[in-house]
Amino acid sequence: MPKVPVQFTLNGEEKAEFVDSGATLLKALRDKIGDHSPKGGCHQGTCGACSVLVDGELKLSCLVLAETCQGASVTTAAGLAENGVLHPLQRAFIDGFAAQCGFCTPGMLMAAKSLLDRVPNPTRDDVVEAISGNICRCTGYEPIIQAVLTAARANSQNAA
Ligand code: FES
Ligand code: FES
């Protein structure tokens, strides 16, 4: 398999690696760079566990070729905390028991982050829609929905 160079920013840090031509961003992140926060569930775009932001846009990293991310800014759940302080979404997920096995959680967090970046004060329906591509087999979704709404409230109080 021919190797191709890829260079992008991951959670604010420059990364440069050689990956197999045709390798997905998910594979590059997990197997080459060592960021295991995006999870490989279905590897075919249906579970959302691999969700990341590429240049601020929510992407399923199992469907993105790593070589198309040249020069991009990639954000994963591992990059949400700042200076050791959890992101409000992470705090709300913990406090609201919105993670059980945790497999879906990084993807849920990124889908929720994408929503709050676009819609700081979402409705419940907005949250349901935003996480509709992310499958959770444990929680029944309600704690996740409530956690996202709690984080949105915390964000708007911090901004006030
Ligand atoms: S692993 Fe990418 S959507 Fe399931
Ligand atoms: S917490 Fe287990 S799949 Fe969501």
Residue nearest to atom 3 of ligand 2 (CA): 136
What's the 5 CA to ligand 2 centre distance in angstroms? 34
Residues 59 and 121 in one domain: no
Over the stretch 24-76, which tens digit does the pLDDT of each residue have?
Answer: 999 999 999 999 999 999 999 999 999 999 999 999 999 999 999 999 999 99
Of 48, 79, 110, the last residue of a domain is 79
Q: What DSSP designation does 118 have? A: H
Residue 159: pLDDT above 90? no
Residues 59 and 118 in one domain: no
Residues 75 and 108 in one domain: no
Question: Do strands 73-75 and 3-10 pair parallel, antiparallel, or not at all (unpaired)?
Answer: parallel
What's the 118 CA to ligand 1 centre distance in angstroms? 23
What ligand 1 atom has the least distance to the C-alpha of 60?
2
Residue 29 belongs to domain with CATH number: 3.10.20.30
Mean of pLDDT over the chain: 96
Q: Ligand 2: residues within 6 Å at CB?
A: 99-105, 136-139
Distance CA 25, CA 12 (A): 16
The pLDDT, as a whole number, for residue 73 is 98
**Confidence (pTM):** 0.96
Over the stretch 139-155, which tens digit does the pLDDT of each residue have?
Answer: 999 999 999 999 999 98
